[in-house]
Every structure is written in C-alpha cells, then in structure tokens.
Amino acid sequence: MPDPGMTVAESVPSMPAVPRPDREAPNVVVIVLDDTGFAQLGCFGSDIATPAIDALAGGGIRFNRFHVTSLCSPTRACLLTGRNHHAVGMGFLADLPMAFPGYSGRLPRSAAPLPRVLRDAGYNTIHVGKWHLVPRGERSAAGPFERWPLGYGFERSYGFLQGDTNQWTPNLVRDNHYVEPPARPEDGYHLSEDLADTAIRYVIDQQQAAPGKPFFMYIGLGAMHAPHHVAPSWVEPYEGRFDEGWDAWRADVFARQVAGGIVPEGSVLTERPAWVAAWDTLSADERRMHTRAMEVFAGFLTHTDAQIGRVVDALETLGLLDNTLVLLISDNGASAEGGELGTANEHRFTAQLGDTVESNLAALDGWGGFRSYNHYSWGWAWAGNTPLRLWKRYTWLGGTRTPLIVHWPQGVPVRGEIRGQLTHVIDLMPTVLDLCGIPVPDEVDGVPQQPMDGASLRAVLSSGDAPDPRTTQYFEMVGSRSIIHDGWKATTDHVSMGVLDEERLMLGSRDFATDSWSLFDLRRDFSEADDVAADHPETLRRLQERWLVEAGRNQVFPMDDGLLNRFVALIGPAWPPAQRSVFRPGGSPIHDESVPMLGVPFEITALVEVPAGAEGVLCALGDWNGGYALYVTGGRLGFTFSRGGDLLRCLGSIGLPEGRHRLGARCTRDGDTTLLWVHHDGVPVGSVAFNGVLPLALQHGGAGLRLGYDAGFPVSDDYCPPAPWTGVLHEVVIDATGGPDPAPIDLVRAAFHAD
C-alpha cells in the first residue's frame, strides 16, 4: 500500500478488495421439498397437479437416479457441505446429538457450508423456510447461534429451526430471534404462502439495493412434511380422485413413468409389502378414511406447487430467471410415519395414544384444518415412492431415491431431458461452485477443509452420455444399510426402532447379528425388484466388505439397533433448565428447551394480583394439538393438558379470591390413577382423575411458553388468544422435581415425528 501524501491530491487511493463473481455467474435458488416421494410430482408420473414444478422440469433436466440420505437433517447437511452426512457429524437428526464424531449434530469447521463459501466469493445469501441443522439444546433465545442459518453463512434468514411446525401457526425465526407470524390463520395465513412472500421480497430488496449482484437463495419448505395443512378449496378438486386406492393408483403411476421415460422400459413394479393392506381387503370406512387423507395431501402438494410458481414467476418478472440456476429436490422419500391407519394428530404418537379407524373418522371433516396435525398412512407413502421399495428412514430406494430437477436456461439450454447417472445430494455443492466459477476452498478461517465427497455434475448436465460422477455410494440410517458399487446394490433388511407400527408389524431383522443382505443389479433392475444374492455370493461379499470400508472412512461407527444404547452419549444442553424454574413476564416466548419437561409429579404455580372480574391466560405452552395452559375463565381457575388432542381439563369449583395469591395446577399419581388438580394457595378447588401417562416430550413445533397471554391456537376452548391476563402476573414457577427423565425411546419417537 503506498504511503499517503500530505493532501488527497498528492495521494494515491488504495481501494479495498471486494470479491466479485464473474459477470456471467448465475443466481442460485435451491428448493428443498420435505418428505416428497419419487412418484408424487406430476413430472415424475403422478396425477397430482404440480404445473409450476413440471414447467421447471420441462425447461430443464430431471434426474431419475438421484439419491439422498433418507432423513431430513442428514440430507441437508450433505447438500450444504458436499460431504457425506456422517463425515460432517450429521449421521442422524440434529434433534438428538451424540458424543460420537459421526453423530454430533454439528458441522465441523473443516466443512465450510455452501452459503459461507458463496458469501466470501461475493454472493448475497438468503435462507427461507425449514432449517433443522441446530442441535437440541441450542435453539433457545440464548443460542449459541453458530449453527443457526446466519452462523453458517446466510446474511438473511426467515423460517423455522426444527423439523416440522404448524402450517397455520408456525414457530418462526427471523435472523437470530423468534417472531410471531405476520397474520392469523383466521385471516388466511399459511406458512408456505408466507415463505413465498418473504422469498420474493428478499430478492426484490437485494436486487434493488445491488442491481445485478448474484444471490444464493435456499428455500426449505415445510411441505410436504406432516402436518398436511391446507385450505379446503385446494382439496376439493381431488375429492373422489383416489377412491380406487393405493394399489390401483400405484399401477397407474408406474404406467405413466414408463411411458414418460422416467422409469426405463422393462422395469418391474415392486410388490406390496406384506404389512401394507391390499386396498380391496379394507372396509368401506377404512377406504373413506384413507381416501380423505390422500385428498388432503394432494391439495397440500398442489398448493405448495403454486407457491413455488409464485417465486419462479417473480424471478421471471424481475428478468432474473434466465440466468438463475434452480435446483429442486426432496430430502427423502415419502414418509410412512403416519403408520398403518394414518393419524388426525401426529402428537398422539408421542403421547402414546393409538389411532383407530373410529377416531380418525370422527376427525375426518377437519382433516388438514386448524384442529388437525394430520399424516396419511404408510399405504400412500409406499405408493408415493412408486416403483421403489419402502420409504423415508430406510436405505431401500424408496427412502433414498428422490426427484432432482435442474433448470438454468442460459447456462444449460436443455429442455425436458432425463438423466440416469448415479448422482447424490453431495454433488450439489461442488456443482453450484463449479457453475458459478468459484473454486472449492482449501482453507476457511485458517482451517484446512476436508475433501469433497461430491463431484460436479457439469458434464452430466451437458450430456446424457457422460459417465457417472461416482461408482460407489454408501448409505446408513438408524441401522438400515446399503451400498451401490459398480452397478450393484446391496441392502439390509434391518428394521429401525422409533415408529410403533413398524416395530409391531414390519418384517425384517431387528438385530445386526441376524440382518440379511439382498443384492440387486441396478444396471437392469431399476427398482430393486429382483434379489440375486443367491446367484452372486461373491459379489455380495465384496459389497459388504466395501460398505465396511466406506463406513469406517465416513465415521459411521458406532452403530446401534434403534439408537437406544447411544443415549449414554446424548449431548445435553450446556445450560439446561432447572427442574424447578422461575419465569417472569416481559420477554419473548420461552423456548421449549428452556422449560422443564413435565413428568409426574409436577406443579405449575403463578404468583398474581387478582382483580375483580379476573380473566385470561397465566401461562401456556403449545396448543390444542399438544400442550398445556393455566388460565382463568368465568372467574374460575382452569388447567388443560392436551395429550395429542385428548384434553385433560380441570376447572375450579369456586371463583377466585381478589388480591395477591398463588394459583396453580398440580399432577400426582396414586397407583395406576393420575390426579390433576387446581388450587388457590395450595387449597384444592377442582380435580380430574385419568389413566395413562402424560407425554414427556411435547411435539408441537416448539411454540414456546408464553406468560400472561397466548398466541396462535389455544390449548383449551375455554379461552381465545391472546386472552391477556387482566391482573398483575409476577412470576410462574414450573416444578418438575421428582418427575422421571424421558426414556430414550420416547425421545427417538418424538424426534422421528418432528423430523
């Protein structure tokens, strides 16, 4: 740098170095659908209307042998790092981090994420939607924030941190703080529409502030994960569409896939698993139940497609679409976590309340609406992955092979072609960097970077005859294992823990010692239909040995049947809530992870000043799908606990005394009976007895504890949010001292259903 002179006129300015991408570098938009199967998009054979996504496919390239990890957090880690999921500590869900290198839930500094690399190269970086890469214990208002979107290189962020959320009343984060939704569900609010609005607004703001500066935008939709929430008007076009059932629908989809070239001629439609009922064996009521669930799912998907269409249309209106690289994927195959019957409320699972045909039918008219947290059955999940085997969480192709669409008119002027090369989500980061003209960094912040496991797809995008970017790819998820090598695929029959109906009904091994491996020749067997293990024992042995090598290289070990034994290594929060915690009003909602879990016994008390005609909420966490609230209605103290929609309601028999008092609810157990009662200054004024247990892990999207009011949906119809407390609230004490710690399997099940 030259020395400055005495005056400006005598000096030579030294301008700061500002990174600038190449003038022709594209904008990049990555759209991640959730729990969307290989066969559920129109351009992959479905009859569900997805015109916006179909238009991207028609103007670009579809991949029919693209693979993911079969679960949410791991796939997103692969996408954003270009490395295998275990190699970057995301071998399972971020919700359950463990003190083993492959399962820490924390991306290492040696794998700088894509947004960080692009930002350093001069891109603006934007995150909208689902994140699910923050470990349990780091999602409260105290952070730490290193693993929130801004900590991983995004400059703007709006969405939700956890695996799922209520589409009507989501738990939202803007940048590094929690915010309330901008409108109420009664006013027409829906999360997918809000995310599309925000994505469009962020791009307009960015381009008006820095015209022509390229941007990277990551859109992680909550759809198509449960709950399948959508307005009835989107469902109506599908009424009666699925009356013939999943067997017939699957056969029709397969015929369209073959005719459209998505599935090669000569492929075999795999058989229905023995534990999935044949449609023609179901009763009329069962068919009505399952049909409605699929109608709502279809409406939800078409609504989601419309929001994607709005974003694409905005890019076109702004003159950006032609030079925008759009990548659209799903994080795993269709989800079977609704189990054998489906459910009107997924929270029932974590409350250990079984679903029945009768309970589902009773809720059928409201399926997908405000009071539901619905999920279809595994029959539709199986059909949604046509022609493949199984579903999400398994390393059969139904869990790991999902759609990939690439659209970039200026850079890849290919229209409507299909690529059949073996590709994986780890290929997306190196592809983006290559197409943007940005080298893979050797070092970031002084930390040497571990090698990329993925490879650029530039050659594959240019030519359908290009070689596969790899010949080997391993898979492991909750003990389910497989490997693709030199055109062969070996897959285990391991059944994982965590989903009750699978534990109860699925055929397969539940012990590594008894696992059986099948072998498939993917060069002629697109769908894993023909097990040739008996004919090629040496090939199978070679693949098993190769899997062990890949597993060792990528930090897969130690494994466990269903993860239960690993809970000795569960990484707890650095600052866990005290079993007896005191909360005072005046701040933001208190995140679930800062609130004690309510085992029995527990007590919640509020120190208040009671005025004449007192009304309102003293504290509330969750909503009528799962949660609890202490409140005053009609001058009487009430407490309601929602166990997956089953309301345990206790109302005081006398009015509140005026003045300063402690008002509370207490829960105790007497033998097999649990007693819930409310009190004034320790004096019982009402009680209710019940059998069964209370869920230790409340699955309600992380709505947080609110003091002196409620928001979103209520826990009880006794009040209507915000229902502010009309007196003075000094503090709320939650005392779970003496209650049991959550069993590991309860946490696993809760995590699976919130993924």
DSSP string, 135-192: PTTS-BTTB--TTSGGGGT-SEEEEESSS---SSS--EEETTEEE--SS-GGGT--HH
Residue 241 φ/ψ, nearest 5 degrees: -65, -30
Question: Where does 71-138 have alpha helices with state H?
Answer: 72-81, 114-120
- Is residue 459 exposed (0-12), middle (13-18) or buried (19+ Cβ within 10 Å)? middle
As a whole number of angstroms, the distance between CA 346 and CA 505 comes to 19
Name the amino acid, one letter, at 573.
P
Contact by Cβ (8 Å): 19, 237: no
Residue 690 φ/ψ, nearest 5 degrees: -155, 160
pLDDT of the residue at 349: 72
Helix %, strand %, coil % for the chain, to 5? Answer: 30, 25, 50
Is residue 72 annotated as a catalytic residue, yes or no?
A: yes
Confidence of residue 563 (pLDDT cuts 50, 70, 90): low
Provide mean pLDDT across the span 146-168.
Answer: 97
Strands (E) in 436-498, as ranges, are: 443-444, 447-448, 472-477, 480-485, 488-492
Q: Is the pLDDT of residue 702 over 70?
A: no
Residue 320 φ/ψ, nearest 5 degrees: -105, -20
Angle between helices 72-81 and 428-436 (to 10 degrees): 30
Q: Is the pLDDT of residue 470 over 50?
A: yes
Contact by Cβ (8 Å): 305, 49: yes
Q: Is the pLDDT of residue 1 over 80?
A: no
Pick the CATH number of 480-569 from 2.30.30.830, 3.30.1120.10, 3.30.450.90, 3.30.70.1380: 3.30.1120.10
Measured CA distances, 308 to 25, 29, 301 (Å)? 23, 11, 11
pTM (predicted TM-score):
0.96
Who wins on pLDDT, 603 or 600?
603
As a whole number of angstroms, the distance between CA 706 and CA 695 comes to 20
pLDDT of the residue at 509: 95
Q: Is the pLDDT of residue 85 over 50?
A: yes
DSSP letter for each residue of 327-366: EEEESSS---TTTTT-BSBTHHHHTT----HHHHHHTGGG
Reported residue count of the chain is: 755
Angle between helices 191-209 and 284-317 (to 10 degrees): 10
pLDDT of the residue at 695: 75
pLDDT of the residue at 751: 64
The structural architecture, per CATH, of the domain 580-753 is Sandwich (2.60)
Residue 170 CA, chain-centre distance (Å), reads: 13
pLDDT of the residue at 235: 98
Contact by Cβ (8 Å): 482, 389: no
pLDDT per position as a tens digit, 211-255 = 999 999 999 999 999 999 999 999 999 999 999 999 999 999 999
Nearest to 362 by CA among 379, 344, 348, 377: 344
Q: Name the active-site residue from 132, 303, 591, 680.
A: 132
Q: Which two tokens stand for residue 291?
A: 């049909």
Q: Which two tokens stand for residue 733?
A: 């004490």
Q: What is the mean pLDDT of the chain?
A: 94
pLDDT of the residue at 670: 83
Q: How many CA atoms lie within 13 A of 733 on its CB side?
A: 11
pLDDT of the residue at 468: 97
As a whole number of angstroms, the distance between CA 155 and CA 140 comes to 20
Provide mean pLDDT across the span 463-491.
Answer: 97
- Is residue 668 exposed (0-12), middle (13-18) or buried (19+ Cβ within 10 Å)? middle
Fold of the CATH domain 27-470: Alkaline Phosphatase, subunit A (3.40.720)
pLDDT per position as a tens digit, 671-689 = 888 999 999 999 999 999 9
Residues of the chain with pLDDT > 90, as a percent, come to 87
pLDDT per position as a tens digit, 325-365 = 999 999 999 999 999 999 999 888 766 678 999 999 999 99
Between CA 161 and CA 150, with CA 145 as vertex, the angle to 5 degrees is: 75
As a whole number of angstroms, the distance between CA 93 and CA 74 comes to 7
pLDDT of the residue at 498: 74
Measured CA distances, 56 to 79, 310, 615, 730 (Å)? 20, 13, 54, 56
- Decide whether 480-569 matches 580-753 in CATH topology: no
Hunting for tokens 């179901």 — which residue is that? 282
Q: Is the pLDDT of residue 448 over 60?
A: yes
As a whole number of angstroms, the distance between CA 525 and CA 457 comes to 24
Residue boundaries of the structural domains of the chain = 27-470, 480-569, 580-753
pLDDT of the residue at 701: 47
As a whole number of angstroms, the distance between CA 444 and CA 153 comes to 12
Q: Name the active-site residue from 43, 72, 78, 619.
A: 72
As a whole number of angstroms, the distance between CA 322 and CA 164 comes to 33
Confidence of residue 540 (pLDDT cuts 50, 70, 90): very high
Measured CA distances, 617 to 301, 431, 640, 644, 724 (Å)? 36, 52, 11, 21, 6
Between CA 475 and CA 487, with CA 481 as vertex, the angle to 5 degrees is: 60
pLDDT of the residue at 755: 64
Q: Which residues pair with 45 in a beta bridge?
A: none
Measured CA distances, 325 to 56, 103, 199, 331, 711 (Å)? 11, 32, 16, 19, 39
| Residue 723 CB partners (closer than 8 Å, separation 6+) | 615, 616, 617, 631, 709, 710, 714
Q: How many CA atoms lie within 13 A of 463 on its CB side?
A: 6
Q: Is the pLDDT of residue 119 over 80?
A: yes
| Residue 201 CB partners (closer than 8 Å, separation 6+) | none
Span of 109-123, 247-261, 277-291, 665-679 with lowest mean pLDDT:
665-679
Q: Is the pLDDT of residue 177 over 80?
A: yes
pLDDT per position as a tens digit, 639-682 = 999 998 899 999 999 999 999 999 999 999 888 889 999 999 99
Between CA 502 and CA 509, with CA 503 as vertex, the angle to 5 degrees is: 95
Indicate the SS3 state at residue 558.
coil
As a whole number of angstroms, the distance between CA 294 and CA 235 comes to 10
As a whole number of angstroms, the distance between CA 36 and CA 241 comes to 19
As a whole number of angstroms, the distance between CA 723 and CA 217 comes to 38
As a whole number of angstroms, the distance between CA 404 and CA 411 comes to 17
* Cα dihedral 89, 92, 96, 102 sign: negative
